[in-house]
């Protein structure tokens, strides 16, 4: 089983739609959780950290369920500019690497 | 600049040649990572350095790949006797540390094409 798994995608949604991505991780000792965004032929960039209580940043909402080892990202009112690959990232204790999921590609269509 | 800096941005090399890719992390970041990403694929972990600890080399795909980090700052990834399957973008990243509360930041990558 891979350490971090994501919805395979791609997701093709119309502008204005709400879309949700799911991610599961296998290491119960993981401590930090993130969503990164990667545009075509660009480097990954931090979208948001994910906190235990859940957090929101504008149209983006991230949730963490430690018991189920599950992370989600919800995008409301999708924009064309949201088209990208979304990477789920998990980090463990000191000395542990950041582990990236394979990514879920989103295409927002006009 | 304030971000992770990588060079060269693009490199075309002939099969069998050696290449060196350089990464200058964000100032003050003690952890440095190398990843590889082939076109349309996910990130593949290669190696990571944390302070003065021995590097985690578990992701290096073969003994043709090596990396060093001098003075706890700049890192060089070396690929010997390049093969066509080495063609990819090599991404360097850094963080203030590892574990809870740290965030990883990427450079723009070095695009390697082996012909």
Q: Which of B36, B103, B113 to mutate to test the interface with A (most CBs of A within 10 A)?
A: B103
Residues 6+ apart with CB under 8 A from B35: A100, B43, B44, B45, B46, B90, B91, B92, B93
Distance, in Å, from the CA atom of B96 to the CA atom of A98, rounded to the nearest integer, reads 13
CB contact under 8 A, A32 and B95: no
| φ, ψ dihedrals at A82, nearest 5° | -80, -10
pLDDT of residue B97: 75
Q: Which of B31, B96, B97, B100 to mutate to test the interface with A (most CBs of A within 10 A)?
A: B100
Contact yes or no for B76/B68 (Cβ under 8 A): yes
**CA distance, residue B69 to nearest chain A CA (Å):** 17
Contact yes or no for B66/B78 (Cβ under 8 A): yes
pLDDT of residue B71: 81
CA B34 to chain CA centroid, Å, is: 3
Contacts of B48 in chain A (CB under 8 A): 97
pLDDT tier, A30 (very low <50, low <70, confident <90, very high otherwise): confident
Distance, in Å, from the CA atom of B35 to the CA atom of B89, rounded to the nearest integer, reads 8
pLDDT tier, B99 (very low <50, low <70, confident <90, very high otherwise): low
**CA distance, residue B101 to nearest chain A CA (Å):** 7
Tell me the average pLDDT across A25-31.
Answer: 87
Q: Is the pLDDT of residue A94 over 80?
A: no
Distance, in Å, from the CA atom of B30 to the CA atom of B50, rounded to the nearest integer, reads 6
Number of neighbours of residue B73 by Cβ within 10 angstroms: 15
The sign of the CA dihedral A59, A41, B105, B103 is positive
Number of neighbours of residue A109 by Cβ within 10 angstroms: 11
Q: Is the pLDDT of residue B14 over 90?
A: yes
pLDDT of residue A3: 85
Terminal Cα distance for chain A, rounded: 37
pLDDT tier, A29 (very low <50, low <70, confident <90, very high otherwise): confident
pLDDT of residue A96: 61
pLDDT of residue A1: 66
């Amino acid at each position: 089983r891979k350490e971090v798994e994501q919805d395979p995608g791609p997701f093709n949604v119309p502008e204005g739609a709400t879309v949700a991505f799911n991610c599961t991780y296998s290491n119960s000792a993981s401590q930090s959780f993130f969503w990164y965004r990667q545009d075509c032929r660009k480097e990954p960039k931090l979208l948001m950290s994910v906190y235990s209580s859940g957090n929101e940043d504008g149209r983006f909402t991230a949730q963490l369920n430690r018991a189920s080892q599950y992370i989600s990202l919800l995008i409301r009112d999708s924009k064309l500019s949201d088209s990208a690959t979304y990477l789920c990232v998990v980090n463990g204790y000191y000395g542990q690497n950041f582990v990236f999921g394979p990514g879920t590609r989103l295409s927002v269509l006009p | 600049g304030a971000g992770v800096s990588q060079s060269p941005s693009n490199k075309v090399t002939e099969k069998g040649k050696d290449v060196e890719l350089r990464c200058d992390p964000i100032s003050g970041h003690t952890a440095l990572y190398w990843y590889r990403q082939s076109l349309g694929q996910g990130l593949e972990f290669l190696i990571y350095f944390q302070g003065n600890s021995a590097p985690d080399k578990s992701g290096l795909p073969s003994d043709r790949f090596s990396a060093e980090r001098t003075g706890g700052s700049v890192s060089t990834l070396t690929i010997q006797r390049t093969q066509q399957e080495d063609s990819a973008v090599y991404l360097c990243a850094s963080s203030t540390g590892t574990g809870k509360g740290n965030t990883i930041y990427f450079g723009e990558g070095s695009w390697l094409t082996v012909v």
